[in-house]
Amino acid sequence: MGKPTGFMEYERRVSKDVSPRQRIKNFREFHEHLPMEEQQKQGARCMDCGVPFCQSGMTLCGMTSGCPLHNLVPEWNDLVYTGNWEQAYYRLHKTNNFPEFTSRVCPALCEAACTCGLNGDPVSTKENEYAIIENAYEKGYADPKPPKVRTGKKVAVVGSGPSGLAVADQLNRRGHLVTVFERSDRIGGLLMYGIPNMKLEKHIIDRKIKVMEAEGVTFVTNSNIGKDIKADKLLKEFDRVVLCCGSSQPRDIQAPGRDAKGIYFAVDFLTANTKSLLDSDFQDKKYVETRDKNVVIIGGGDTGNDCVGTAIRHGAKSVTQIEMMPKAPDTRAENNPWPEWPKVCKTDYGQQEAIEIYGHDPRIYESTVKEFIKDKNGCLKAVKIVSLIWEKDPETGRMNMKEVEGSEQTLDAEIVLIAAGFLGSQKYVTDAFQVEVDGRTNVKTQAGRFMTSVDRVFTAGDMHTGQSLVVKAIRQGRECAREVDESLMGYTNLYVQ
């Protein structure tokens, strides 16, 4: 597990970021990674801690602590330290189908649970993972490895986000014939159009898709199952169908003036931006123009932050982010001990850029939109917001929001982006397959299982659990693939840690 005294000899080092004023000039990734020799020292910091919480993936107080994939973190940290990069890749790939994605977009649950982080700085596990996978592509370790034997069984996967790709990758390794259907024009789902380029450049996705194609997976784009192609057709042509369509129904904000021109869902804003970038480097103008406009973003999560960074790169006059929740503390509270996920204030890349460009944090906490204000042409010109206070209901014990009387203020806004989360699966898909859904419109299965109420139809990812992390979607895909394989073959040897 690394060098026994490494955590005392070496300080934590991570990649440097390109300065905000430089990186907002383009949509490229902006991390300057460490040389391999220095990365090996970072692997040396992984201590012989005895109980590696980093790979536990436990739920503590409703939050995940450690890696949901149960990545063999201490093992490949040690292999990084000793310079055995090939074996480090094989140990990493044993539990994680897509380290090229998680090493870029995962919030590093492993690092938050690292024992080194209890009284110091955690091991830079996420960047070690990045170094392992990029070296693997460079040296050829990640080249295609088609299965030697085919079973003849055919599986259709609907949706090409992280869970769908994980299902496809696992079942293809087993020797089944897998076809992935994607309603968009490019493969990747959330990875392609829900995450902007500066966090995950799309050639990284294309690189992995080419490997999967060479290994035998078939990808079909522009195929909207349930509309363009009937569910019955898939059930006739394939032995099993797996629904991995994501949680793509955005939560709306209903307030007076909602019909004003200039209000968009964040997912539509980000999708149009990435598609225009990839199709024409923005020359087709098929994106939401924020140049010289006041932009208000409703929602304080990762998607809201991505909207901040995207709007700034297009030259927004101002960017304001509305957040209903109070500001989290800057350091761990006593009631939030390690190894729980640290509930502390995070200033992400988009907010960092806003601070640099506009001179202040774009976030307004404990507030919500009360009214969208239109001009005479029906276009948005401002939003009225109101402060909130959280009060406990004496009867139920629940915390409820209450408006603070007299706290209204008006913000100039020609563009509003709604990043308030997602409600669940889309009805036309679940209706097409006649699968049962729960009260949140997530597809129902037995607890811990993935087969739906319809025979031979399975589900995984956000469509099954609701909106979550990429790393959790991959885990769901792996577990679902194991269940599908067992239903096809009567047994399974697919590895799930």
pLDDT of residue 181: 98
In this prediction, residue 4 carries a pLDDT of 86
Ranges of H-type helices in 55-174: 73-81, 85-95, 99-105, 109-112, 125-139, 162-174
Q: What is the pLDDT of residue 1?
A: 67
Instruction: Provide the 3-class DSSP secondary structure of residue 383.
Output: strand
- Cβ atoms 226, 431 nearer than 8 A: yes
8 A C-beta contact, residue 102 and residue 125:
no
Q: What is the pLDDT of residue 3?
A: 86
Task: Quickly tell me which residue has 């907010």 as its tokens.
Answer: 351
How far apart are alpha carbons 207 and 3 in whole angstroms? 34
φ and ψ at 264, to 5 degrees? -135, 150
pTM of the predicted model as reported, rounded to 2 decimal places? 0.96
Instruction: Establish how many alpha carbons lie within 13 A of residue 97's alpha carbon, considering only the half-sphere containing its beta carbon.
Output: 32
What domains sit in the chain, N to C, each tagged with a CATH number? 6-139 (1.10.1060.10), 154-248+423-489 (3.50.50.60), 263-418 (3.50.50.60)
Distance, first Cα to last Cα, the chain: 19
For residue range 414-465, list pLDDT tens digits in order. 999 999 999 889 999 999 999 999 999 999 999 999 999 999 999 999 999 9
Residue 100 neighbours by CB distance under 10 Å? 21
177-181 sheet: strands from edge to edge: 218-220, 177-181, 154-158, 240-243, 457-459
Other beta carbons within 10 Å of 251 = 15
d(CA 449, CA 71): 22
pLDDT for 394: 86
B/e letters for 346-377, b = 16+ CB within 10 Å, e = fewer, are eebbbbbbbeebeeeebbbbbbbbbbbbbeee
DSSP-derived secondary structure letter, 117: G
* Angstrom distance (rounded) from CA 477 to CA 163: 4
The pLDDT of residue 2: 78
Give the angle subtended at the CA of 412 by the CAs of 410 and 417, to the nearest 5°: 100
User: Which residue ranges of the chain lie beneath pLDDT 50?
Assistant: none
Identity of residue 318 = S
Which position has the token pair 């986000």?
Answer: 161
As beta bridge partners, residue 60 has: 63
420 touches 251 (CB < 8 A): yes
Helix, strand or coil, per DSSP, at residue 313: helix
pLDDT of residue 497: 66
What residue type is assigned to position 259 of the chain?
Answer: D
